[in-house]
Copies of this chain bind each other. A is one copy, B any other.
Amino acid sequence: MSRNLLLISTSTTHGTGYLEHAEAEIKKLLEGKKSILFIPYARPGGISHNDYTAKARKAFAQWGISLTGVQEYDDAVKAVREAEAVFIGGGNTFVLLRQLYQNKLVEPLRERVRQGMPYMGTSAGTNVAGKTIGTTNDMPIVHVKTFDALQLVPFNINPHFLDPDPSSTHMGETRDTRIAEFHHHNRQPVVGLREGSMLRVQGDKIQLLGPHPARVFLQTGKPMEFKASEDLNFLMEAY
Contacts and interface: CB of A to CB of B under 8 A. Distances in A.
B45 A177 contact: yes
Interface string A43-61: 1111000000000000000
A178 B43 CA distance: 12
Interface string A5-19: 000001011110000
The interface centre, meaning the residue of A134, A147, A173, A183 with most chain B CB atoms within 10 A of its CB, is: A173
A181 B140 contact: no
Interface in A141-175: 141-143, 146-147, 160, 162, 169-173
A177 B135 CA distance: 20
A28 interface: no
Given A45-B177, A177-B45, A139 B182 contact: yes
Contact of A134 (B135, B139, B178): B139
The A interface is mostly helix, strand or loop, or mixed, namely loop
Contacts of A79: none
Given A14-B169, A134-B142, 12 more contacts: A44-B181, A45-B177, A46-B180, A46-B183, A91-B181, A134-B139, A134-B141, A140-B140, A141-B185, A142-B185, A160-B170, A160-B171
A138 interface: yes
- Report copies per complex: 2
A117 B59 CA distance: 58
Nearest to A139: B178
A133 interface: yes
A68 interface: no
A9 to B, nearest CB: 9
Contacts of A170: 14, 160, 162, 195
A143 B141 contact: no
A66 interface: no
A197 interface: no
